[in-house]
Amino acid sequence: MDHDQYERGIKTRREVLGDAHVDRSLAAVDELTKPLQDLVVEYGWGGIWARDGLDRRSRSLINIGMLTALNRPHELQVHLKGAVNNGCTRVEIVEAVLQTAVYCGMPAALDTMRHVKALFDELDSDQSA
């Protein structure tokens, strides 16, 4: 394991997804899941998300499209919150979903939009509290 890349990955993951999410994920790690979590942190977050070639907003919008296409609702919910943390506007998120409707299909986009609406509703209720 490349310790520096892993540490860069943890730092990036925390900045994008928040400490609470990362802490929950790491607390759930056991002997079976540790190798995959280490791979995700070191290569996904430390090797890809920490690169300079794209800003985090762009990476978030790309992930919304890919996770919609792959029908991965759990990861989609996580990355929708990450997109907000990365400064994506509601308009940009909705536009990304509309783009998926053409390339991934209407059912996929409809499902993603349900998750987007739930997140926006959650954010709005947090602001009014």
Say how many domains are in the chain: 2
Q: Are residues 39 and 91 in the same domain?
A: no
Q: Are residues 119 and 73 in the same domain?
A: yes
User: What percentage of the chain carries pLDDT values higher than 90?
Assistant: 95
Domain CATH number, residue 97: 1.20.1290.10
Q: Are residues 45 and 70 in the same domain?
A: no
The answer to whether 65 touches 49, Cβ cutoff 8 Å, is no
Residue 6: what pLDDT? 96
Residue ending a domain, among 29, 52, 75, is: 52
Low-confidence residues of the chain: pLDDT under 70: none
Q: Are residues 11 and 31 in the same domain?
A: yes
Q: Are residues 97 and 83 in the same domain?
A: yes
Q: Are residues 59 and 102 in the same domain?
A: yes
Q: Are residues 64 and 31 in the same domain?
A: no
| Rg (alpha carbons) of the chain, rounded to whole number | 15
Retrieve residue 92's tokens. Answer: 């940009």
Q: Are residues 72 and 90 in the same domain?
A: yes
In degrees, rounded to 5, the angle at the alpha carbon of residue 78 between the alpha carbons of residues 75 and 80 is: 105
Residue 1: what pLDDT? 80
Residue 36: which domain range? 1-52
Cβ-count burial 108-125 (b if 16+ within 10 Å, e if not): bbebbbebbeebeeeeee
Distance CA 89, CA 91 (A): 5
Q: Which of 86, 88, 6, 82 is nearest to 42 (CA)?
A: 6
Query: Three-state DSSP class for 52?
Result: coil
Q: Are residues 80 and 96 in the same domain?
A: yes
The answer to whether 10 touches 45, Cβ cutoff 8 Å, is yes
Residue 126: what pLDDT? 86
